[in-house]
Homo-oligomer: A and B are copies of this chain.
């Protein structure tokens, strides 16, 4: 059995990220050792350190993949919505649904900040989900559905934090809490739109 170098690399990285996601999500960053990861991925620790700078670097790769997954879920959710305000609401629900997976939760909201570093994590975040949110807010402002004088950056930050926390508190879990969070979210956006 002979594989090209590119294939070997892709296969090793893929396996390490896949296994890393599972273990980091289950036992946390500190509770997951590099021997554990290497063994579960069926490679040596040396290979891990060949493909990633250190343990945090692997974690970082897992986080990026995770944000891409969320981003896709949001996009999927809003493809058939046109009203800017409804895009914000539906996109948010897509985010909550996708991020409510316990593994995502722990990686992104529990360990993420401490491992990647608050600012650095937010920079990844700001390129994906939060960027979508901000664009959505600005579009709604342009369309006159949200007050034009509202500072978009500040509102984006707050609402992004609100969504993250809703997920962390388990409001995406069962049907009653999904209903409650849905009500709260719609009220926040509708309330703002009343000020336009």
Contacts and interface: CB of A to CB of B under 8 A. Distances in A.
Interface residues of A, number: 48
A40 interface: no
A110 B118 contact: yes
A158 interface: yes
Contact of A114 (B29, B164, B192): B29
Contacts of A165: 157-158, 160-162, 164-165
Contact of A192 (B29, B157, B191): B191
Nearest to A169: B157
Interface string A109-151: 1110111011000100000000000000000000000010111
A154 interface: yes
Contact of A162 (B150, B161, B177, B194): B161
Interface of A: 28-30, 105-106, 109-111, 113-115, 117-118, 122, 147, 149-151, 153-155, 157-166, 168-169, 171, 177, 180-181, 183-185, 187-188, 190-195
